[in-house]
Amino acid sequence: MKRILSVLGAVSLILSMSLPASAAPGSISVYLDGNKISFPAGAPYTSQGTTLVPFRTIFEKLGLQVTWNAKTQTVTGSKEDLTIQLTLGSNRASINGVIQKLSVPPATVKGTTYVPLRFVGEAADAKVDWNEGSGSITIQTAKSTAVEQEKIRKLLVQVLSCLDKGDYNGLKPYLSADSPFQDSEKELNEWSQNNSQISKITDFEFVSLNQRTGEAFVETVEDTHRTGGLYMPDMLNQMMYTVVKEDGLWKLQDFEIKEITYKLPADALTKTVNVPSTEDSKINEVINLYNKYLSDKNLDGILALSDPGIITDEFKANLQSVFASRKMWEGDVKISNVRTIYYSESEAAVYFEENYLNPDTKSSLILGNVFVLHKSTEGKWLINAGYRVSKKFKGEEN
């Protein structure tokens, strides 16, 4: 009787190792580089929060050569400089001989050996993500991800080139069907008539790239240099792009400007700009009056110096904010280093520095600004735009 019970106990133990309590196959879908994997030997299942899949299919899909040692109950997957070994019923596995602990050991279900999906995928240098909403798992191999990232880089370079030129016809093939820029022809054409610039992407960062859904978010840093048209300082832009896949090709869906940093061209403060003396005096007078009205918190005075086209409620609110910010500096604000850095008959760009000094703390703040002035039909120079191009802060002096 004891022997019978012993045998029954052994059989029970084997069955418990072979078929976990939560081994009932579910409807888990697994995608590799955007393509759904079929598992002929058995459906994936979840045990203790870990998804397990038939070992041979996943190893081969990841490009691993598979061997099975029936004596030791060990499965091995290998390629180039990678060897992964897992043993049935053991929560210890190895990657290139280095022992790793598994949250759930490999198991046999109806004659098929299952292995933890995430462990195998990440050991093969792939990115594994669980999508709770769809109940699916996406695996992205490093090689495939690099290929798709390069395609997106080329797309954004082409997009930026078209935007620099205001070339809507060139841009249109790179836009997704639902992109809000599908109707931007008029705006781009108007922009190109007055502006000319060259932009270069200096940094890419892929926030996310999902090949299954065909969507990616990319942050870039772009260095933009004006080459003609209306005056504007050079810019360093931080952007966020949304790209989607349509008919197998990545397309621009949308973009967001996260931050703009204005800066002067390298020779802006050293090159000579020829300005007629009478016009130079008028331009400098506008800058000096602006400083006086700013110190006096004279809103009407500043509005009188401004191009009517830029005066909005938001413009007025911004000026009130500037007035309020000056309260922290008790000393006088002085204007220095005033110079015209660009001039034409109807437009001028003036660089100047605002020097803030707090006599109590000896702290100082120097703000470098560029004001763009347009000449009205009456011959009056008016402020049309302002840019902060530098900021220097010095603490308490010894």
**Percent of all residues in the chain with a pLDDT value above 90, rounded to a whole number:** 73
- What pTM did the predictor assign? 0.78
Question: Quick one: pLDDT band at residue 333, thresholds 50, 70, 90?
Answer: confident
pLDDT of residue 21: 40
The b/e string for 68-86 (b: 16+ C-beta within 10 A; e otherwise) is eeeeeebbbbeeeeebbbb
Query: Which residue do the tokens 């939560």 mark?
Result: 22
| Whether the Cβ atoms of residue 187 and residue 153 lie closer than 8 Å to each other | no
Element (H, E) at 352: strand 347-358
253 vs 193, higher pLDDT: 253
Residue 136 carries which side chain, given as an amino acid letter? S
Picking from 85, 107, 104, 81, the residue whose alpha carbon sits closest to that of residue 94 is: 85
Model confidence at 395: pLDDT above 80: no
Question: Quick one: pLDDT band at residue 19, thresholds 50, 70, 90?
Answer: very low
pLDDT of residue 222: 97
Model confidence at 22: pLDDT above 80: no
| Whether the Cβ atoms of residue 114 and residue 106 lie closer than 8 Å to each other | yes
Model confidence at 348: pLDDT above 80: yes
- Encode pLDDT of 131-152 as tens digits: 887 889 999 999 999 999 999 9
Burial class (CB in 10 A: 0-12, 13-18, 19+), 40: exposed
CB atoms within 10 A of CB 1: 5
pLDDT of residue 126: 92
pLDDT of residue 329: 56
Read off the pLDDT of each residue in 86-115 and give the average, rounded to a whole number: 94
| Whether the Cβ atoms of residue 268 and residue 231 lie closer than 8 Å to each other | no
- Encode pLDDT of 227-286 as tens digits: 999 999 999 999 999 999 999 999 999 999 999 999 999 899 999 999 999 999 999 999
Strands 195-210 and 136-141: unpaired
Question: Quick one: pLDDT band at residue 297, thresholds 50, 70, 90?
Answer: confident
Residue 60 carries which side chain, given as an amino acid letter? E
- Encode pLDDT of 155-164 as tens digits: 999 999 999 9
pLDDT of residue 5: 38
